[in-house]
Amino acid sequence: MTLINSAISMVYEHPTAKVALTIALALCLCFIFKHRGSSQPLPVINGRRFFEFSDKNLKERYRTNAKGLLDLGLKQNDAFYLHTDKGLRLVLANRYAREVHNNPHLSLSKAIEDELHCDIPGMEGYRQGYFPDQNMGNMAIKIDMRRAFESLVKSWSRDTSSILEEFWTDNSEWHKLILSPLVLDMISQLTAEVRSGPDLAQSPAWRRLSVSFTVHTFMAAADLDGWPRFLRPIVHWFLPSWKRLRADIEEARQIYDAATEARLNEKEEAISNGKTPPVYDDMMYWMEQRAGGVPFDACLAQLLIAQAMIHGTADLTTQAIFDIVERPELIQELREEILSVIGEQGLSVASLSNLHLMDSTIKESQRLKPLFLVTMKRYAEERIALSDGVVIPKGVQIVVHAQNMWDEAHYSNPFEFQSHRFLERRKIEGQEAAAQLATATTNHMGFGFGRHGCPGRSYAAAMMKILLCHILLKYDLKLTGGRPEVAKAGVLLMANHGAVIEVRRRQGELNLGPLSL
């Protein structure tokens, strides 16, 4: 205290010192106000506890209580760091979503590269620049698939009828089904022809690989996460999960190459006979055309397309069925809507879009249980200062919290399932588009948001509605053992994989052309 008192006395006794101190304080204040967003370190919400010498327990707490940690973070700040099973992430509140969307220095590709170890053999398909045109698949989905949409609706309905007969049977007695794996197989089969053409669609091995590739990809990535970076280029050769992933790819290449050769032979035969080469309505053909003769790894592209088409759609379909089956009155309402709309208008893209209650029901299922609690994963290629001064350091990965989906400011009784919620919103002027299942907004980020939002969400919506039309008109349904709990793993929320429902064949009220009801 003596030193402090002496310093204060010196300032008062010497005018020069007083001026110098005033200038120094003014400069400090200017610096603080100019850099107030970046000068204050952002909070780290979780970390090692006392006497924890590894991240094992930290990661386990994240895996089992990610939502609690995210809620805790938002109470402290709109931007905070969170230790995850993939490393440290900067979590941004939902209000930053548009800034993230508009910033060209925040890269999704780089984020995926970093998370999936894209320098390791087996993950090269996720590496930026691996394909000659990174937008090739998106363009095929957005443009080529759009042209074929009407015919796809008819074929999906036809295939749904035969798939249900195989998996759900025509048994008129109550019988039990484990729903999630059945729906996954059904979506895999329904998407197989548009992904890979009719020949590959008939291959059980190809359909199996189309599903297992995704599962094995993320299992392999998780196995390598726990190893130091400098050991990863070596240790992956000995990990069973990585051997299995590479075996999947090798088996897929053998099957795909045979199908490609068969198509090439068809083309050559047509040309030699003076005929026009065949044209196909599938991703296999569309992507080849969009490549414009530039060689690319078509087999790996197919596996990545399958990853995008199958798993998210299957999970949402499963959850929607759980939510519907829990409410017998909703089952009846949906049946009446199907009979009214499809019965009068027939099956088409337009009539499916007119199933407003079904659309609202699925969107509400997705609102309450999206696949992820956070979205808009990005890697900062440069140091970025957001509009309020928050700084994203170069090399940091960020995510945006989807908190608005459960915010009372946007949804009344936000944790209550209301099948009519978005149906009612359609009636509000200016809300008609935002209330639709296939529309992504900052208040409903189930399909992501911005330019990297799911490009095939309109097709997924149509496919889910076709499935529900068939299921609800053809089967009585009830839950076994109460409401299925959502499976949680970090920020990932999955429809219960082991939950059982009971079904029995009923006499459908419609027998309408391609619906085959």
Contact call for residues 145 and 194 (beta carbons, < 8 A):
yes
pLDDT at 137: 85
Q: What is the DSSP letter of 320?
A: H
Q: Is 299 annotated as a binding residue?
A: no
pLDDT in tens, the chain (517 residues): 443 444 445 444 555 544 444 444 444 444 333 333 344 589 999 988 888 888 888 999 999 999 999 999 999 999 999 999 999 999 999 999 999 999 999 999 999 999 999 999 999 999 877 887 778 888 899 999 999 999 999 999 999 999 999 999 999 999 999 999 999 999 999 999 999 999 999 999 999 999 999 999 999 999 999 899 999 999 999 999 999 999 999 999 999 999 999 999 999 999 999 999 999 999 999 999 998 888 899 999 999 999 999 999 999 999 999 999 999 999 999 999 999 999 999 999 999 999 999 999 999 999 999 999 999 999 999 999 999 999 999 999 999 999 999 999 999 999 999 999 999 999 999 999 999 999 999 999 999 998 889 999 999 999 999 999 999 999 999 998 889 999 999 999 999 999 999 999 998 776 644 444 4
Residue 13: predicted pLDDT: 52
Per-residue model confidence (pLDDT) at position 458 = 97
Spatial CA neighbour of 347 closest among 186, 158, 148: 158
79, containing H or E segment: strand 79-84
Six-digit token string for 359: 């659309």
Report helix angle 356-368 to 457-474, nearest 10: 110
**For 86-505, CATH number?**
1.10.630.10
CA 497 vs. chain centroid, Å, equals: 17
Quick one: pLDDT at residue 39?
Answer: 43
Domain range summary for the chain, segments of one domain joined by +: 86-505
Question: Could you tell me the pTM of the whole model?
Answer: 0.89
Residue-level pLDDT at 40:
57
Residue spans of alpha helices (H) in 2-144:
2-13, 15-34, 36-39, 56-76, 97-102, 108-115, 136-139
pLDDT for res 331 = 98
